[in-house]
Structure 1
Amino acid sequence: MACVGVFVAYLPVTSVSVSLPAIQRALDASTSQLSWVSDAFVLPMAALILTAGVFGDVHGRKKVYQAGLALSGLGALVALCAPSVEVLWIGQALAGLGAAALLPTTLALISHAVPDPRERGKFIGLWATSLMAALALGPVISGTLLGHVAWRWIFLLPIPAALLAMACAAKLLTDSRAPGSRRLDRPGQFTAALAITALVYGIIEGGATSFTDPAVMVALSTAVVGAVAFVLVERASSSPMLDLTLFRSPAFTATTLIAMISFLGLIGFFFALSLYFGMVQQLSTLDAAWRLLMVTMVPLVLGAPVGRLMHRVSPRLLIPGGLLVTSAALLSLTDIDADTSFGSLAWRLALLGFGLAFVITPMTATAVSAVPFQQAGMAAAGNNAFRQVGGALGPAILGALLSTRAVDALPGHLADAGVTGRTAQQVTAVAEHDGIGAVGGLDLGADTPRVLGALSEAFLDGLHLCLVVAAVLTLLAAAVGALLLRRPGRTASVVAGGSAPSAVPVGSGTGE
C-alpha cells in the first residue's frame, strides 16, 4: 500500500510537465500562468509535508494516508473538468495537498510494519522503485493520450487509482501512531508553511520578473523571518513538529542536505531538458517521453537490488559514489546540440539514471534509519520536505539562468546567422519582454528559419550553463555525503537521548 500511495502521489509530476504545451494552447495561458500549473502542485506539497507527518503521528497514519489518496483523486477530478487555467491551479493544489499527506505517511507505514532496519532497506527500495515508476510512466501515458484525445484526459488515471487504493487500504492496513504523547505543533506548522511558501514564491516570481521587484523582496524577507521563527518555536516547543536534535545525527543531516541540493540541480535539469526536446529538437510529447524514460527506467529497475545492496555496502560509499556518477553524466551532456541523435543521448541519460539509482533508495533509508523508531515519521517528513523545496526551486533557479544566458547570447547568434537591423531588434525585444519561447511563434517571413536557428543556438548556450550548474550542485551534494556520512556518528538512541531497539551506529554498513 505504501508503494501504491507514493505512485499516486508522484504520477502528476512528470505527466503534467510534458503536457504543458498542449495545456497552453487549449487554455490560451500565458507563460507565467503556465508556470503556476506545475508550481500549484509543488508549493503545497513542499509547504505541508512536515504538517502531514505530524498529523499521521498524532491522529493515525492510515487516516492521513486515505485522506491523501482522497485529495489526490479530488484534485485530478477538478483538473479533468477545469474550464480555465485558474480552476486547473485549484486541482493541482488539491493534488499537491494529497501528495504532501502521502509522502511521509507511506514511509512511516513501512517503518511501523518493518521495525528491523536491515529488512526495512529492501522495502524502502521497493518504495523508491514505485516513485521512479510514476516518474517514468507519467510522460509515456501523457504522450500517448495527447496523440488521440484532449489534454484534460491525462488526469483520468489518478482517480480510479486513488479510489481503488482507498478501498484496499480500508481492509488491508492497520492504523499506527507515534509512541508517546506527541501533540500538534500549530506555531511550528504555521511558521514552516510561511517560510517555505514565501521562499518558493519569491524564487519563482523572481526568476519570472526580477529579484529586485518589491513583491519578490517582501516574499524572500518573509521567508527568512519565517525560518528564524520556526527554529525559535521548535527549540521552545515540548512537542516540536521537527525535532532539531535530529540534526545531531550526521547521517540525517547529510541525507537532508543531499536531498535538497541534489533535487534542486536534478529537477531543474529535467525542466531544461524538456524544453530542449520541445524547442530545439522539435520533438512530440511522446518522443520526448521516450527519451526521458532513459533516465527514469534505470533507477526503476535497480531500486530493489540497491535496497538489498545496502546490507553489504555502506551508504557513505553508495550515496557519494552515485552522486559522482550523476555529476559525470551531467557534464557529458554539455556538448549536445540540435542534431544530437537519440543514440548519442541514450547512454548519457542512462548513466544519469544509473547514478540516481544509488542515491534515492540509500538516501531515504538512511534518513529514516538514522533516528529512533518512534521518530521515523518525523524524519521521513523532514527529508521529503527538504527534497521538495529543492525540487521546487530547481526549475525556477535553473530556468532563470537558462533564460538570462539565452537572451544575452541571442543577439550574437542572430548576427552570425545574418539577421540584422529591425528584424534583429524585434526578435531581441520579444525575447527580453516575453521570454525566449515567444520568439518561436514569430512569423518573420524568409528570415524565420535563420531566426529559429539562432534561437536554438542561444538556447543551447543557456542549457549548457544549466548542465554545468546542475553538475556542480551534484558534486556539492557528494562532498556533503563524503564529509558527514563517513563519520560513524551516534546511534539513533543517543540522538533521542534515550534507548531504541536495534540501534546500530550510523554509517556502519548495515543499512543504517
Structure 2
Amino acid sequence: MSDTTAPNQRKGLLLAFLCFGVFMVYLDATIVNVALPDIQEDLSTDITQLQWIIDAYTLTFACLLLTAGTLGDILGRKKIFLAGLVGFTLTSVLCALSGSIGVLLVGRTLQGICGSVMIPVSLALVSAAYADPAARAKAIGVWAGVGGIALSTGPVLGGFLVDHYGWQSIFWVNAPVGVVATLVLARLLTENRSARGRRLDPLGQLLFITAIAALAYGLIEGNGEGWTSGVILGAFAASAVTLLLFVLWELRRPDPMLPMGFFRSPIVVVAGIVNFLSLFGLFAVIFLFTLYLQSVNGLSSVETGVRFLALTVPIMIASFAASVVAAKAGPRLPIFIGSLFSAGGLVGLTALEAGSGFGGYWWSLILLGVGVSFTGAPATVALLGSVPNEQAGTASGVSNTFRQVGTVFGVALAGALLLRHLRDGMPDALARTGLPAQAQAKAVELLGDGDLSRAAALPPDVRGTVLDAVGPVYVQGMDLAFQIAGAGALLGGLCALVFLKGTGPAAEPAAGPDSVPADTAGQRS
C-alpha cells in the first residue's frame, strides 16, 4: 500500500503529469501510422519493414503487460514508472536520430518495453494517490480518457508534424514532455508497493514472448522467405511448441503470470476472442488505409490525419457510451450489435477504388469506430463481472493483453495479404497496359515490395501508366484483408450471442472505457 498519500494540493499536479507520461505511450500507438509513407521513402523500406515498425512496438508492449504491474509491486512503483518514463524519452530520441530501418526498429522495440511498464504502474500510482473512492473513480476516469484524446489527436498531430518538420518530429515531440514530466514526478511521487507478496515469472514471460514473436515473424516474413521455407515453418512450429510449454508452465505455477483458471469461464474466453478480433480489424484498417490514402490517392500526411478523425472521434465518444450501456443492459447484445457495425464498416471499405474521395468512405470509418467501441468495452464489462474483485486487476491485464496481441496480428496479417496479392496480381495488370516487356519487368522489380514511391525511378512517360495499373491491384489486396477482418468481427459477435446468455447488467469497470487501442487499463494492486 502507499507509504504516503499525496498531499491534497499536489494531487491534481501529480495526476496531470502522470497523464502526460501515459499520453506519450498512447500517442505512439497511432501517430506513427501517418508517417509510414515518408519513412518508407526516406529509409527505402518495404511493406514488411513497415509492419515491423508498428509491431515491434505493439508486440513488446503486449507481451510485457502482465509482468510490468508485478514489477512495480515488487520494486516500487515510483522507481519503475520513472525508469519507464526516462527510458521512453531516450528511446524516442533514438528513433528520431535513426538513419536506418534497423536502428528505428531497435528504438521502437525499446519504446514498447518502456511503455508496457508505464501504463499499469501509472494506474496503480493514481489509485494510491486518491484514498477517497469517489475521488479515485474521477481520477481514474481522467486517466482512462487520456487514451481517447491521444487516439483522436495522433493522426492529425502526426500529419502536421510530418508535413512541416519531417517524420523524425513525431519522436522528437516526446523529448521535452518526457524531461519535464520526469523532473516534476521525481519530486511529487512517493514510493509505494503492493502489500501482497508477488513473484515474477521470468520463464513464463520468456515463453510467452517467444510464442507471440515467432508467430508474428512467420506472418510478416512469410511473403519474403516463402511460406513453405524452413525458416517460416520453423517459426510457426516454434510458436506452437512454446505456447504449449507456456500453458503447461503456468498451470504449475502457484502465482502464475497468466492464471489459466480464468479460461474455465466461457465469459473470459469470449471476452478474449472479442477483444482480439475487434483490435485485429481496427489496426488492419489503420495500417493499410494510411498507405492507401497516401501511396495510392496521393494525400498529404495532414490530409490523411484529418480523414482519420471519422474513425477516431467516434471511438473516443462511443467508448464512454458503450460502457454505460453494457453496465445497464448487459454485454451480450451491445457486443453483437457492435460486431455488426464493425463488419458493416469493414465491408463498406471494400467498395473503395483507387482515387475514391472522402464521401465514399467516411460512413464506413464511423461505423467501424462505433462498432469497435461497442464490442471492446462491453466485453471488458463482462470479463470484470465474471471474476472476484481481488482478481479484477489481473483479469483486466488479461483482457488488454488479448487486445494488444490482436493489434500485432491485425498489422501482420493485413500486410501479408496485401503484399501477396500485389506480387501475384501486378504482372498481369502491367501486361494489360501494353508497355514494353522491359518496362514491365522494371516496374515489378521496383514496386514488388509494396513501396509505390519507387515509381519515381521509372521513366516519366511510363510512370503514370504503371501507377494506374498497380493502384487497383493494391486496393484489391487491401479489400481482401478487410473482408477477413469483417468476418472475424462477425465471429466475435456470434460468440457473444451464443455463449454470453444469462449475463445481465454488471458494474461498470472503474478504469473507464476500454475501447482505446493503446489502452491497457486495469492492472491495479
Band of TM-score, shorter chain: 0.7 to 0.9
What's the CA shift string for 1:395-416, capped at 9, x where partnerless? 2211111222233333443344
2:89 aligned with 1:73: yes
SS at match of 1:14: coil
Q: 1:379 aligns with which of 392, 395, 401?
A: 395
SS at match of 2:356: coil
CA distance in 2 between partners of 1:28 and 1:436 (Å): 8
Aligned to 1:492: none
What's the CA shift string for 1:85-115, capped at 9, x where partnerless? 3332232122111221133334556777899
**What amino acid is aligned across from residue 450 of structure 1 in structure 2?**
T
More off after superposition, 32-41 vs 393-402:
32-41
Change (3 A) 1:199 1:367: same
CA distance in 2 between partners of 1:155 and 1:13 (Å): 12
Contact 1:51–1:241 (Cα < 8 Å) also in 2: yes
> What's the offset of the Cα at 1:341?
1.7
> What's the offset of the Cα at 1:327?
0.8
CA distance in 2 between partners of 1:439 and 1:159 (Å): 32
More off after superposition, 271-280 vs 103-112:
103-112
CA distance in 2 between partners of 1:115 and 1:255 (Å): 31
2:507 aligned with 1:510: yes
More off after superposition, 288-297 vs 195-204:
195-204
Q: Calculate the aligned-residue CA RMSD, in Å.
A: 3.1
Aligned to 2:515: none
Contact 1:413–1:454 (Cα < 8 Å) also in 2: yes
What's the CA shift string for 1:171-215, capped at 9, x where partnerless? 666666555332222221221122222222222222443222222
Contact 1:125–1:303 (Cα < 8 Å) also in 2: no
CA distance in 2 between partners of 1:250 and 1:39 (Å): 29
> What's the offset of the Cα at 1:334?
1.6
Contact 1:108–1:380 (Cα < 8 Å) also in 2: no
Change (3 A) 1:376 1:161: farther
2:149 aligned with 1:152: no
Aligned to 2:32: 16
2:346 aligned with 1:330: yes
Matches within 5 A, 1:77-88: 77-88=93-104
More off after superposition, 65-74 vs 458-467:
65-74
Q: 1:203 aligns with which of 214, 219, 227?
A: 219
Aligned to 2:72: 56
More off after superposition, 106-115 vs 327-336:
106-115
Aligned to 2:523: none
2:37 aligned with 1:40: no
Q: 1:141 aligns with which of 137, 157, 173?
A: 157
Aligned to 1:300: 316
Give TM-score, length-normalised by structure 1: 0.86
Matches within 5 A, 1:150-299: 150-167=166-183, 169-170=185-186, 177-178=193-194, 180-299=196-315
2:336 aligned with 1:339: no
**What amino acid is aligned across from residue 454 of structure 1 in structure 2?**
A
> What's the offset of the Cα at 1:352?
1.6
Contact 1:198–1:222 (Cα < 8 Å) also in 2: yes
> What's the offset of the Cα at 1:50?
2.0
CA distance in 2 between partners of 1:379 and 1:178 (Å): 17
Change (3 A) 1:399 1:86: closer
Change (3 A) 1:422 1:27: closer
Aligned to 1:388: 404
SS at match of 1:239: coil
> What's the offset of the Cα at 1:61?
4.2
2:374 aligned with 1:358: yes
Give TM-score, length-normalised by structure 2: 0.84
Contact 2:279–2:372 (Cα < 8 Å) also in 1: no
Count residues with an aligned counterpart. 493
CA distance in 1 between partners of 2:212 and 2:306 (Å): 34
> What's the offset of the Cα at 1:295?
0.4
2:517 aligned with 1:484: no
CA distance in 2 between partners of 1:40 and 1:393 (Å): 12
2:467 aligned with 1:470: no
Aligned-residue identity in percent: 35
Aligned to 2:4: none
Aligned to 1:496: none
CA distance in 2 between partners of 1:97 and 1:250 (Å): 31
SS at match of 1:287: helix
Contact 2:51–2:412 (Cα < 8 Å) also in 1: no
